[in-house]
A and B are shown apart, each in its own frame.
Chain A
């Protein structure tokens, strides 16, 4: 009887390629859905919204989010997976609280950004998508925004990868830019699936643009361009503050932090093999 090996096998090429394919398909589904929605947006919504748009928005974005999750999750180290529920609870609790205040902000991505900074863009994207899916158990209206949430996680991780979290003042800038992209991508969901936004504050802003004669999609997109960049700048700043407060031994658990020197602003850069 031969003994089982005590060491990990080197990961197979084929499995890695399959995962990669799922990630690409997921991203493609999200991109294609967005393009379709913008190109075919109904010119006149008076006769009711095109329910095809709603179906495509729901189906395409959700499919993309699920493909991303299935592709990314098995590649993540357990330390990241175990941190995800914590991030999700932060997202959900803060998001739910913020939604009830009437302010035109969301604050529902702090956990996502936290993971993205510690574990990278792929982990961030999976966290964002999972966050929407799990949150929908208590608030189903967030489910269709899974793709937008994934994008925020991806962009936050990319910002961390290129050192935007090394300096405290760069984090809100990265957040602002992320907010612009995320807002534009999420607007069609709000418009076609829900015909508006859920919050009182955001609703008021949309009404103002509608009063000036904008189409619904245009009005919601403009509202998103007002709310989202500010919101994400705040979220990135809070996440940066939280990460800076973590002890070094904790942040250095994450290979992404070590490899890309993500938090050099906090401590003198130190070479690490």
Chain B
């Protein structure tokens, strides 16, 4: 990287098919792309559509032969007077070219959906992490210092160079991941879900970064499952469904057409917010009326909590919180990052115990009851479904522990729960081979099958595509309909407004209605 613009390079790829080793079905089939200098291309598709596989193939992270059977061609065209690269042509045979991931990455940089996956995780500071790729190339130290400073300037990391990468926020981490890719000064940049799980600050800085790269003449490809402002600014869209290309063309034309509807792409209004009601069934008005004399399904009575309480200087995270949720009611908890929303949920089932106050479910205090027992009455869904799944097949996962509760009825209930989240046909699949959305849906099914009195969901909308959002909303409505209380913690205000009977905000340790 030398401060000037990178040489103009066009990436052309035509993937006839790609199948992972051991899979009988190809993960990708018939997908073509051309990424020209200074242009933004968006690849859109729902969860499991093959976007990430496509991005990894383009970025040289997945290699034909090593990771699976690839048929098709990858080609880089340089605009300058340099002699051209030979195209890499794959026929799925043993004598296919073996891509050099490092040499390829100097032309085509790929940034994964989970930015932490980009990091070597053996470097103690941001600047050392940025330098990792340069060290491997044997760059002179003085040159290395200059390039690291330049990359930090371009990604806005200059003030964070001495920080430990493990302490960065989501947006900072994403920019570091981009920084790690651009120290090689690639002419093509592929960003996988660059805005996923970022707050508005993070979204703004990453969007600015993309704009600046485009202005330098970099060809940028964004993979995304939502038609948000960033992807709307692309010149060209490519829509994937089930690993195949179903539509391609200008965004305005595709937005006007029908192709997006079945793909699972989340279409939001240009403002970046979910439309107030449209895709979700309007239900916020049909508020449950508590039967007089009955107890709330979930009751927090003067609950206070703080970590590290020996250190008296630290303020409490939650102070004297009261919350009543009635059967059939849906309550959304919102609030800024770090306000203690997830902590609040963990107090519901006793994973954390309050310093003062009491938590009651159906009128009974849970103090002293093990979390595993509380779980029969309160189902808690975590942010990371990975951690919750441990069986070998989807069906066994839902059946786990169910026979003890329902006896012979268990298989029927498991089947119903899977059907409700759209996994009825996936019973024999390994849970970890489901898409991100699918894993969340499976985790939801394991909770739904037990028909708990209270359903507590931690950021349930993150990583869900349009199909997933629809099923989540149906499942919440159905649970409330049979008399369960639902509490969800979310940063997605539009989703909360569309679904909850009541919104409460957690700010500075206090819960307030709004």
Contact = CB atoms under 8 A, between A and B. Distances in A.
Interface of A: 1-8, 244-245, 247-253, 255, 258, 270, 272-273
A247 B439 CA distance: 14
9 contacts: A2-B82, A3-B83, A3-B85, A6-B100, A7-B100, A8-B98, A249-B20, A250-B432, A273-B94
Given A245-B392, A247-B433, A253-B67, A3 B78 contact: yes
B393 to A, nearest CB: 10
Nearest to A1: B82
B256 interface: no
Contacts of B88: 6-7
B481 interface: no
Interface residue SS majority, chain A: loop
B8 to A, nearest CB: 14
Given A2-B83, A250-B432, 14 more contacts: A4-B106, A5-B103, A6-B76, A6-B85, A6-B99, A6-B100, A6-B104, A8-B98, A245-B392, A249-B21, A249-B22, A252-B20, A253-B21, A273-B69
Looking at A8, A251, A252, A258, which has the most chain B CB atoms within 10 Å of its CB? A8
B21 A4 contact: no
B470 interface: no
Nearest to B100: A8
Interface residue SS majority, chain B: loop
B21 A258 contact: yes
A258 B430 CA distance: 19
Given A245-B392, A248-B22, A272-B21, A7 B433 contact: no
B79 interface: no
Chain B interface residue bracket vs A: 20 to 34
Contact of B103 (A6, A244, A245, A253): A6
Contacts of B69: 273
B97 A249 contact: no
Interface in B426-454: 430, 432-433
A84 B66 CA distance: 20
Contacts of B78: 3
Contacts of A270: 22
Contacts of A258: 21-22
Contacts of B84: 3
Nearest to A266: B392
B310 to A, nearest CB: 27
Nearest to B60: A6
Nearest to B92: A273
Contacts of B106: 4
Nearest to B96: A7
Contacts of B67: 253
Nearest to A255: B66
A149 B427 CA distance: 41
Looking at A3, A5, A258, A270, which has the most chain B CB atoms within 10 Å of its CB? A3
A151 B283 CA distance: 66
B23 interface: yes
A71 B222 CA distance: 42
B365 to A, nearest CB: 36
A40 to B, nearest CB: 42
A249 B98 contact: no
Nearest to B87: A6
Contacts of A244: 392
Contacts of B98: 7-8
Q: Which 10 A-B pairs have the closest CB atoms?
A: A252-B22, A252-B21, A247-B430, A8-B98, A8-B100, A248-B22, A247-B432, A7-B97, A247-B433, A6-B103
B455 to A, nearest CB: 28
Interface in B274-318: none
Interface string B49-90: 000000000000000001101000000101000111110100
A2 to B, nearest CB: 6
A214 to B, nearest CB: 46
A4 B103 contact: yes
Contacts of A253: 21, 67
Nearest to B94: A273
A258 B98 CA distance: 18
B68 to A, nearest CB: 9
Looking at A5, A6, A8, A251, which has the most chain B CB atoms within 10 Å of its CB? A6
Nearest to B391: A245
Contacts of A272: 21-22
A247 B85 CA distance: 37
Interface in B23-39: 23
A2 B392 CA distance: 51
Contacts of A2: 82-83
Contacts of A1: 82
B82 A3 contact: yes
B23 A249 contact: yes
B99 A249 contact: no
A6 B89 CA distance: 12
Nearest to A273: B94
Contacts of A6: 76, 85-86, 88, 99-100, 103-104, 107
Contacts of B83: 2-3
A82 to B, nearest CB: 9
Contacts of A247: 430, 432-433
Nearest to B102: A8
B93 to A, nearest CB: 8
Contacts of B432: 247, 250
Contacts of A5: 100, 103
A248 B106 CA distance: 32
A96 to B, nearest CB: 22
A174 B111 CA distance: 43
B74 to A, nearest CB: 9
A250 B22 CA distance: 9
Contacts of A273: 69, 94
Nearest to A77: B66
Interface string B397-432: 000000000000000000000000000000000101
A7 B63 CA distance: 11
A147 to B, nearest CB: 27
A3 B83 CA distance: 7
A177 B104 CA distance: 46
Contacts of A245: 392
Nearest to B107: A6
Nearest to A258: B21
A248 B103 contact: no
Looking at A2, A251, A273, which has the most chain B CB atoms within 10 Å of its CB? A273
Contact of A8 (B22, B99, B433): B99
A253 B84 CA distance: 33
Contacts of A250: 432
